[in-house]
Amino acid sequence: MELAIYNIEGKDTGRKAQLNDAVFAIEANEHAVYLDVKQYLANQRQGTHKAKERSEVSGSTRKLHKQKGGGGARIGDINSPVLVGGGRVFGPRPRDYRFKLNKKLKSLARKSALTYKAQDNQIIVVEDFSFEAPKTKDFVKITKNLEVADKKVLLVLASQEKNVFLSARNLPNASIISASDVNTYALLNNKAIILTESSLEVINNL
């Protein structure tokens, strides 16, 4: 598969970028994509939720009234879960939501996501660029030139470009990631994927 290479002014350079069919044109596996996204989201959870159960609620342990003879239901202390202010039955406890996936499955999911994006024409290849100083206005101008200013944009760079990152971090619909850190969730969570030439070389060898 070939894509035109654009410059940051949004003009076609006349050159073509070759997309590796082993990465961008595989038989996509939806279940692998599902598992990889599920793992990514699970790994983001803090898991620090906690509710007090009956033995942890602060309150007297005195039995409120005798077991029989009152005409009502039997009851224990004021910490009973059936009373207002009592403990919670089987409440949430701190836990780790992380789970493992095989490297080959994660690789398959990532390639499947790239295949989906290529099929939907949501991948744009641009010449390598950098900023002399952080300027959000310059980054916005690039997205306008490439006609993706109204979409969620993921810019993939071959290496860390501090000024480019700082120029985009205040934009709610733009994110930047290194080619070596590309993941399934980031690809699917954006409508336009902008790849620099050097980052495409890295991804072609995933």
Give the mean pLDDT of 181-185. 96
How far is residue 193's CA from residue 117's CA, in Å, rounded to a whole number? 8
The H-or-E segment that residue 156 falls in is strand 153-157
Model confidence at 129, in pLDDT bands (50, 70, 90)? Answer: very high
The mean pLDDT of the chain is 95
For residues 204 and 196, the answer to whether their CB atoms sit within 8 Å is: no
Q: C-alpha distances in angstroms, 111 versus 23, 77, 161, 204?
A: 5, 59, 25, 10
Given this model, what pLDDT does residue 136 score?
Answer: 96
Question: Is residue 4 classed as helix, strand or coil in its secondary structure?
Answer: strand
Domains defined for the chain, CATH in brackets: 2-28+102-204 (3.40.1370.10)
Residue 110 in contact with residue 182, Cβ under 8 Å?
A: yes
**How confident is the model at residue 176, as a pLDDT?**
96
Q: Supply the pLDDT for residue 1.
A: 85
Distance CA(115)–CA(165), nearest Å, equals 26
* Token pair for 10: 């949004």
* Residue 44 structure tokens: 């983001």
> Strand 2-6 relative to strand 12-18: parallel, antiparallel, unpaired?
antiparallel
Confidence of residue 160 (pLDDT cuts 50, 70, 90): confident
Per cent of the chain over pLDDT 70 is 100
- Dihedral-angle region of residue 14 (phi above 0 means left; psi in -120 to 50 means alpha; beta otherwise): left
Q: How far apart are CA 116 and CA 36, in angstroms?
A: 15
- H-only helix segments in 45-161: 103-119, 136-145
What's the pLDDT at 45?
96
The pTM is what? 0.85
- Cβ partners under 8 Å of residue 186, min gap 6: 154, 175, 177
